[in-house]
Amino acid sequence: MLIIGCGNRERSDDGAGILVAEKLRKLGIAADTRTGEAADLIEAWQGADEVIVVDAVVTGAPVGTVQAWDGRQPLPSVRTTASTHGFGIAEAIELARVLNRLPRRLQVYGIVGRRFEPGAEISPEVQRAVEEVVRSIIEDVSAASR
């Protein structure tokens, strides 16, 4: 299973996906980090069968909400996720779908963020959401290995 945390640790809540990856690594679970730019993501999951992607999003839901999507389905918020990259996860999924380059299984965790300005501080609600996603991914990983 390939786990990818997206974002920028120097952009406040945009660091959420990276933080999830860092925490997983500390627990001995391999996780990749990426900016979340679409073409790069498609390359990153090339050849992988099962993929989990985590990124900070803005969907209108309260800060710290964790939203889970099946990437094989069209993302409901495809135009509303204000990821910091402009050309991000939603575009990666839709482009990969057209090009037939989606992994067989793709789980997306979006963590709703508040602040995206330069700085390393992460909102407390987002911190809690990061822990929640880490727990979910540990379950996903152990379910997959059973």
Interface with other proteins by CB under 8 A: which residues?
8-11, 32-40, 42-44, 82, 84-87, 91, 94-95, 98-99, 116-119
Distance of closest approach, residue 34 Cβ to other proteins, in angstroms: 6
How does strand 66-70 pair with strand 105-112? antiparallel
In the numeric block, which tokens belong to residue 115?
Answer: 């602040």
The minimum distance between CB 139 and other proteins, in angstroms, equals 27
- Answer for the pair 68, 109: CB distance below 8 angstroms, yes or no: yes
Smallest distance from other proteins to CB 142, Å = 27
Q: What is the full DSSP assignment across 78-110? A: TTT---TTSS-HHHHHHHHHHHT---SEEEEEE
Measured between alpha carbons, how far is 96 from 42 in angstroms, rounded to an integer?
A: 7
Write down the least CB distance from residue 39 to other proteins, Å.
5
- For residue 96, give every residue at least 6 positions away whose Cβ sits within 8 Å of its Cβ, in sequence order, or none: 42, 45, 102
Strands 32-34 and 66-70: unpaired
Nearer to other proteins, 25 or 136 (CB): 25
